[in-house]
Copies of this chain bind each other. A is one copy, B any other.
Amino acid sequence: MPHITVEEGVPGIRSLVLFRPETGKPLYQLAQALLRGPSSIPEAERELIAAYVSSLNNCAFCCMSHAAASRELYGDKREVVDCVIHDGQAEVSKKLRALLQIAAKVAESGKSVLPEHIENARNQGATDMEIHDTVLIAAAFCMYNRYVDGLASFTPTDPEVYREMGVRLAANGYVSPQNSNV
C-alpha cells in the first residue's frame, strides 16, 4: 500500500504525478528530454540504460516499464534487453558496454565514476555528449527509483501491463498524466 493517499490502481510514478502536478511536470519533461530528445544514443539504448540502473536499484516498476519500452524500440533485437538486465552481459557494442559501466558506477555514487571509466568509453568512440547523457540518465533514475519506491507506489505484477506500457512509451514518449487520457 502506498505510504500516502494517491488514486487507487494508478501505477508507479503516474499516481505521484497526479498527486503533485507541480513537481510532476518537470519530472516528465526531464524524462522526455533524456529518453526521447535529440541524442546520438538510440532511444532503445537510452531506455536500456534506464532499465539497467533501475534493476541495480531494485526498482521493479521502473525496471519493468523501461525494459518494456526498450524491447519495443529494439524490435527484432529485443532479447538484448533481458541479457543486459539479468547478467549485465549481452551482444551489445563495446561503446554501449562502456556506457552501461559508467551508469552502474553512477548508481553507486557520483564519485565512483573514475577517469578510467570515461577513458574506456572514449576509446570506444563515446562523445562528451554521450557520456554526459549517460551520467544524467543514470542519475535521474536514481531519483525516479527512490521516488517510486520511497512512497511505496503501486507496482503491478502482471507482465501484460508492462508490455502495453512499453508499447505506449515507445510510441508516445513521456506525456505527463494530467495532459493525457492514458
Contacts and interface: CB of A to CB of B under 8 A. Distances in A.
Interface string A90-124: 00000000000010011001110101001000000
Contacts of A23: 30, 33-34, 37, 133, 136
B25 A110 contact: no
Chain copies in complex? 2
Interface residues of A, number: 50
A16 to B, nearest CB: 7
A27 B151 CA distance: 21
Interface of A: 3-5, 16, 19-20, 22-23, 25-27, 29-30, 33-34, 37-38, 57-59, 102, 105-106, 109-111, 113, 115, 118, 128-129, 131-133, 135-136, 138-140, 142-152
26 contacts: A3-B131, A4-B131, A16-B136, A20-B132, A20-B133, A22-B33, A23-B30, A23-B33, A23-B34, A25-B29, A26-B29, A29-B29, A57-B110, A59-B110, A106-B146, A106-B150, A110-B146, A111-B149, A131-B151, A135-B146, A138-B146, A138-B150, A139-B143, A139-B144, A142-B142, A142-B146
